[in-house]
Amino acid sequence: MTVDLDSSGSCRFRVLTAPGPGAVAVIELTCEILETAPHMLRRLSFVRPNAQSGILASVPPDNVAPQNAAVSVKGLDSIMSLGRICYGYWNAEDLVVVRTSELTWEIQCHGGTIAVNRICRDLLSDGVLEGDRDTEAVSLATPAASMDALRLKDVQLIVKQAVRSRVANARSRRTAGLILAQASNSLCQDLMTILNSLSKDVVEVKAVRQRLAGWLDVADHLTEPWRVVFAGAPNVGKSSLMNMIAGMERSIVCDQPGTTRDIVEVDGVVEGWPFRFVDTAGLREGSEDQIEELGIQQSHLATSQCDVLCLVSDDAGAWHDQLSLMKLPKHTVLVRNKCDLMAELDFVQPLRNKSPALSGLPIIHVSAHTGHGLPELLEWIRRAVVPQEPDKNTALPVCARQFEIG
């Protein structure tokens, strides 16, 4: 008997798991007339574990043919009895199929958007409708539109959950406002473009991914501060700079080398953006004091794990050997301290001549004693990590992991 799927509209499917990557995605398929099930499942090809070898082997082709071939109701009943777990694939996608009732099947495939989108598109092209029969969003004329409407609700839920969890950890009014804005700006539509990548223009999807990926670092630091490390030789004024920025004495200040032995951190906000300023032990060749030597090792570790490195110096000649051993991060600035003690012409040309390793690094002259140059230093730090400031209309990927962005 030949069944006209278009006229009966008896086969439907729905995605039971939320969009985005995961271990397993589940798609439920139902039909009202059992005779339509073979057509609904026509793209399945079944395999089963080989009892002797322990590997997957194809089911003999009695009643079950490869993809795109008709399968009888009797063949389905013999292979897919109620509750039986069947291994197989949908075109190139590995999956597991379970018959949960006389007219209902569950397909369990790889989590993520690619496998689910491919299977759903195949079902739609075969005339299978999406959603429950009573769902108003389902339309025979526009099944793809109903699919988008249901997925949009799931995407909005994911974004709202991300916003709710992140705003609780916001460190400034500005970052809190940007987080809250993601629930109402274009982020959901951008994520829908990625989610429906198989049905969208490749260039459009790539452009959306690149745009969101470009804001990934900013999105990550809406709740986590950027790390700014002050490193340099002993007794160049790193701790004094930290104290001036913090507005309180968090670091011990002394003219004796080796005073700072532990990592000292202080959190602050610069133009609405969160930063963690880190004071380190002076970098110099091995110390006889084991505790001080440990502090120097921690300083090297801190410089390798920071977002911004401020190399503090009051004499460029002391820097050459240390810099040759360090891999400078992308955002590195030379902070020339104690500028109040020297003439302006004394700390530009000699600096570059004495230390070729500093060639090309920006230089900011400051004084921890008077505060001169500190506003310029903080402005440079902010611009280094946020060269283009977002506003509330900017889509920031606050749920990048769920949609494989970056």
Structure tokens that stand for 337 in this block: 């301290």
Average pLDDT along the chain? 75
| Alpha-carbon gap, residue 104 to 34, rounded angstroms | 10
Among 41-45, 64-68, 208-212, 391-395, the least confident range? 64-68
Q: Does 250 score more than 90 pLDDT?
A: no
Regarding predicted confidence, which is higher, 240 or 61? 240
More confident residue, 174 or 24: 174
The number of beta carbons lying within 10 Å of the beta carbon of residue 301 is 13
Average pLDDT value for residue range 354-381: 84
Per-residue pLDDT, 35:
82
pLDDT of amino acid 284: 54
pLDDT for 70 equals 42
Q: Which phi and psi angles does 243 have, rounded to 5°?
A: -65, -35
**CA angle (90 as vertex; 88, 93 as ends), nearest 5:** 85
pLDDT in tens, 371-395: 889 999 999 999 999 999 999 999 9
**Phi, psi (rounded to 5 degrees) for 24:** -140, 140
Percent of the chain with pLDDT over 90: 19
What's the confidence (pLDDT) of residue 75? 64
Q: Are strands 226-232 and 44-49 parallel, antiparallel or unpaired?
A: unpaired
Radius of gyration of the chain (CA): 31
Task: Give tens-digit pLDDT for 338-347.
Answer: 777 766 545 5
Residue 134, C-beta contacts closer than 8 angstroms, at least 6 positions apart? none
CA atoms within 13 A on the CB side of 357: 16
Domains of the chain in start order, with CATH, are 5-135 (3.30.1360.120), 150-215+391-403 (no CATH), 226-385 (3.40.50.300)
The pLDDT of residue 368:
85
Among 40, 19, 36, 3, smallest CA distance to 196 is for 19
- Residue 336 in this model has a pLDDT that exceeds 50: yes
- Taking residues 124-149, report their average pLDDT: 60
373: nearest Cα among 349, 339, 333: 339
The beta strands (E) that lie in 252-343 are given as 264-270, 273-279, 308-313, 331-336
- pLDDT at position 262 is 63
pLDDT of residue 322: 54
27-41, 235-249, 308-322 — which one is most confidently predicted on average?
27-41
Q: pTM for the full model? A: 0.59
Q: Could you read off the pLDDT of 171-195 as tens digits, one per residue? A: 888 999 999 999 999 999 999 888 8
Confidence label for 288 from pLDDT (cuts 50, 70 and 90): low
Separation of alpha carbons 323 and 355, rounded Å: 9
d(C-alpha 111, C-alpha 119), whole Å: 12
pLDDT score of 241: 87
Higher pLDDT, 130 or 63: 130
